[in-house]
């Protein structure tokens, strides 16, 4: 803002030579000075002087302890203005003393820088974090509903199994009852059949015996056959061991195990300052890509080098493999089975390294394979470019069979630019994330190929300055993309909300990164040939 003094009808002039609008002021003598008169004024050694820019006139004050002195310095230890007598006193002995004008300018510059940081970077990040709170809160309810639904489904399945078992046992009882009744029925039939025969035999015997009282005719008895023994044994009698139900003691722990278990609620925080766990020096002059074989081994490939190298965390070379064609590979990925795949743009092939053998999986016509990743289902996702350099698409392969092509949005416009670097990675929600360098964006589509969002950097970052060169995802569904020219990594959530930067780990030119099973980040540096292992969670 213009000093009001400059707007007065009488222009401020140098008190020594009348030059208008003098740029300096002696804050002790209270006179205005042009540049030419400053030296002349200072030559008067009969009194003290303190020259300041005109706009800072009045910066010094009278000393509260020494009435004849003015405070031209500042004790930063006590945080008070001090005069020359104060400085030499025992009260400020060994204290840190600074020139008051230098301190003022330094503090003003710091305040301006802080204001810029607050307005351009910090405040927008807090705004973004604040807008993300309702999303997080809604996510809690959404996840809880999902868990509750899963529990209800498991409970219903368990109830169905119990009902089926109980119904089966009831059916067994019905079958046993039917068998028991059938046996009783058979016994009843046999008994009821024999009783009339016995009754008739009794009547016959009585009649015969009555006739024998009047006669001794042998012929009446000679034809008699006794059936007593026949009737003596009753129809087959049976003993029944009746079924009983022996209930087991209900074991709640076993039921709990049958139902399943809920994992613990765990809070994991992004570290304010990610830690460098390991620095691995490779043999590459231009290190492109890294891919974890395990938590302690990683495959690498680089520029102008046809050798694929496997290193451990100590930087020891464990294995090296030359490409099948002798051409430089563009990108690498480790499959779920632990094999290595790489793209060979020059002969348009995608190749599999298994043991000591290299097998060509796919050879393209009219398209050049560039970057690739392995998916949770065992498929390969491959970024490829048409021979005329006009089109780019993502193709999903199962083995050597093409299953899906992703190229256009719902309006029929290209999802991806053509040319240059386009690393890709599958997220845990099956989204496909492509770091499109020329588009200055990370393009994220669903597993079905529908555009979900484009991340072009946080609000505080000019869009054109964000040039992603690599992308990977972690177990939380966060997306990590290498911002090569800004020497940092952007961490965003699965819905494209910016979380934070990783920019204080000596990153120079981060490129095609990867994450291990413990969410440690491996960042290759294309210039130094080093791989940094970073811990960014706690």
First to last CA, the chain: 48
Q: How far, in Å, CA of 335 to CA of 378, rounded?
A: 7
Q: Are residues 250 and 291 in the same domain?
A: no
Task: Return the CATH number at 508.
Answer: 2.130.10.10
Q: What is the pLDDT of residue 79?
A: 86
460 compared with 267, residue with greater pLDDT: 267
Cα(347)–Cα(58) distance, integer angstroms: 76
Residue 397 banded pLDDT, cuts 50, 70, 90: very high
- Position 213 scores a pLDDT of 84
Same domain, 222 and 302: no
Q: Is 179 exposed, middle or buried (0-12, 13-18, 19+ CB in 10 A)?
A: exposed
User: Is 306 found in the same domain as 394?
Assistant: yes
Same domain? 219 vs 196 = yes
Q: What are phi and psi of 20, to 5 degrees?
A: -70, 155
Residue 306 above 70 pLDDT?
yes
> What is the C-alpha to C-alpha distance for residues 52 and 60, in angstroms, rounded to an integer?
10
Task: State residue 6's pLDDT score.
Answer: 45
Q: Quick one: pLDDT at residue 464?
A: 58
Domain count of the chain?
3
Q: What is the pLDDT of residue 445?
A: 97
Structural Rg of the chain based on CA atoms: 47
406 within some domain = yes
Residue 171: give the domain boundaries. Answer: 106-259
Residue 360 lies in a domain: yes
- Answer whether residue 329 is part of any domain: yes
Which residue among 208, 232, 259 closes a domain?
Answer: 259
User: How many of the other CB atoms lie within 10 Å of CB of 274?
Assistant: 23
- Residue corresponding to tokens 């310095």: 73
pLDDT confidence tier of residue 458, bands split at 50, 70 and 90: confident
Bigger pLDDT: 366 vs 6: 366
Question: 119-136: per-residue pLDDT in tens?
Answer: 887 787 788 778 888 888
User: Token pair for residue 494?
Assistant: 């699965």
Closest to 99 in 3D by CA, of 50, 58, 66: 50
pLDDT at 8: 46
Using the 3D structure, point to which of 105, 134, 161 is the last residue of a domain: 105
Sign of CA dihedral 92, 96, 102, 107: negative
User: Does residue 230 carry a pLDDT above 90?
Assistant: no
pLDDT at 426 over 90: yes
| 125, 501 Cβ separation under 8 angstroms | no
Q: Residue 329 has what DSSP assignment?
A: P
In a domain, 486, yes or no: yes
Question: Which ranges of 213-223 would DSSP assign to H, the alpha helix?
Answer: 218-222
The model's confidence at residue 219, banded by pLDDT at 50, 70 and 90, is confident
Q: Supply the pLDDT for residue 76.
A: 86
- Residue 406: pLDDT band (50, 70, 90) is very high
HSE-up of residue 168 (Cα within 13 Å, Cβ side): 6
Give the model's pLDDT for residue 7: 47
Same domain, yes or no: 251 and 114: yes
Residue 16 domain-assigned (yes or no): yes
Q: Domain for residue 312, yes or no? A: yes
pLDDT of residue 346: 95
Domain-located, residue 264 = no
Q: Do 195 and 292 reside in the same domain of the chain?
A: no
Same domain, 378 and 245: no
Give percent of the chain above pLDDT 90.
53
**Are residues 115 and 226 located together in one domain of the fold?**
yes
Tell me: do 292 and 408 sit in the same domain: yes
Q: What are the start-end ranges of the E strands in 303-429? A: 307-312, 317-322, 332-334, 340-344, 349-354, 357-363, 367-374, 380-386, 392-398, 401-406, 422-426
Q: Are residues 375 and 431 in the same domain?
A: yes
Residues 6+ apart with CB under 8 A from 406: 393, 394, 395, 396, 415, 432, 445, 449
Quick check: 10 pLDDT over 80?
no
138-186: per-residue pLDDT in tens?
A: 889 888 999 999 999 999 999 999 999 999 999 999 999 999 999 999 9
Q: CA triplet 373, 379, 385: central angle to 5 degrees? A: 55
- Predicted local distance difference test score (pLDDT) of residue 5: 45
Q: What is the pLDDT of residue 465?
A: 80
> Both 48 and 184 in a single domain?
no
Does 1 have pLDDT greater than 60?
A: no
pLDDT attached to residue 460: 57
pLDDT band at 459 (very low <50, low <70, confident <90, very high): low
Who has greater pLDDT, 85 or 359? Answer: 359
Residue 42 falls inside a structural domain: yes
Q: In the predicted model, what is the mean pLDDT of residues 12-24?
A: 88
* Cβ–Cβ under 8 Å, residues 424 and 369: no
Question: pLDDT digit string (tens) for 511-522?
Answer: 999 999 999 999
Q: Do 249 and 367 belong to one domain? A: no
Structure-block tokens of residue 269: 């925080």
Average pLDDT estimate for 453-470: 79
Average pLDDT of the chain, as a whole number: 89
The whole-number pLDDT of residue 462 equals 55
pLDDT digits (tens, 9 = 90+) for 45-59: 888 888 888 877 877
């Amino acid at each position: 803002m213009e000093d009001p003094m400059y707007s007065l009808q009488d222009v401020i002039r140098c008190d020594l030579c009348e030059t208008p609008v003098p740029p300096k002021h002696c804050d002790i003598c209270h006179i205005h000075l042009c540049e030419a008169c400053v030296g002349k004024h200072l030559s008067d050694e009969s009194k003290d002087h303190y020259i300041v820019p005109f706009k800072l006139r009045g910066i010094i004050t009278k000393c509260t302890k020494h009435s004849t002195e003015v405070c031209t310095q500042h004790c930063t230890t006590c945080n008070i203005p001090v005069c020359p007598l104060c400085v030499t006193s025992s009260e400020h002995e060994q204290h840190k003393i600074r020139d008051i004008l230098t301190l003022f300018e330094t503090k003003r510059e710091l305040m301006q820088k802080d204001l810029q940081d607050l307005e351009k970077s910090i405040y927008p990040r807090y705004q973004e974090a604040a807008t993300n709170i309702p999303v997080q809160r809604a996510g809690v309810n959404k996840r809880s509903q999902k868990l509750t639904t899963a529990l209800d489904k498991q409970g219903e399945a368990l109830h169905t199994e119990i009902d089926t078992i109980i119904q089966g046992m009831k059916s067994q009882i019905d079958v046993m009852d039917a068998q028991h009744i059938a046996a009783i029925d058979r016994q009843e039939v046999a008994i009821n059949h024999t009783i009339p025969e016995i009754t008739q035999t009794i009547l016959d015997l009585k009649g015969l015996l009555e006739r024998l009282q009047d006669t001794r005719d042998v012929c009446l008895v000679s034809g008699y056959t006794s059936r007593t023994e026949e009737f003596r044994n009753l129809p087959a009698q049976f003993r029944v061991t009746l079924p009983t139900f022996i209930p087991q003691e209900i074991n709640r722990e076993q039921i709990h195990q049958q139902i399943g278990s809920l994992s613990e609620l765990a809070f994991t925080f992004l570290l304010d300052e990610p830690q460098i766990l390991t620095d691995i020096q490779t043999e590459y002059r231009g290190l492109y890509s890294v891919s974890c074989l395990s938590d302690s081994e990683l495959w690498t490939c680089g520029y102008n080098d046809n050798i694929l190298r496997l290193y451990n965390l100590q930087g020891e070379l464990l294995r090296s493999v030359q490409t099948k064609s002798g051409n430089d590979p563009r990108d690498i990925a480790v499959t779920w089975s632990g094999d290595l795949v790489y793209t060979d743009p020059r002969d348009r092939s995608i190749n599999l390294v298994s043991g000591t053998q290299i097998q060509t999986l796919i050879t393209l016509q009219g398209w050049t394979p560039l970057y690739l990743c392995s998916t949770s289902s065992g498929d390969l996702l491959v970024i490829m470019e048409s021979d005329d350099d006009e089109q780019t698409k993502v193709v999903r392969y199962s083995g050597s069979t093409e299953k899906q092509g992703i190229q256009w949005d719902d309006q029929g416009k290209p999802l991806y630019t053509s040319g240059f670097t386009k690393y890709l990675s599958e997220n845990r929600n099956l989204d496909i994330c492509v770091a499109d360098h020329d588009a200055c964006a990370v393009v994220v589509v669903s597993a079905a190929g529908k555009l979900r969002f484009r991340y072009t950097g946080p609000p505080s970052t000019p869009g054109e300055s964000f040039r992603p060169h690599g992308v990977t995802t972690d177990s939380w569904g966060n997306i990590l993309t290498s911002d090569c020219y800004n020497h940092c990594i952007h961490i965003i959530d699965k819905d494209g909300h910016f979380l934070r930067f990783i920019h204080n780990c000596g990153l120079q030119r981060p490129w095609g990164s990867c994450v291990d099973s413990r969410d440690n980040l491996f960042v290759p540096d294309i210039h130094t040939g080093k791989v940094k292992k970073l811990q960014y969670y706690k």
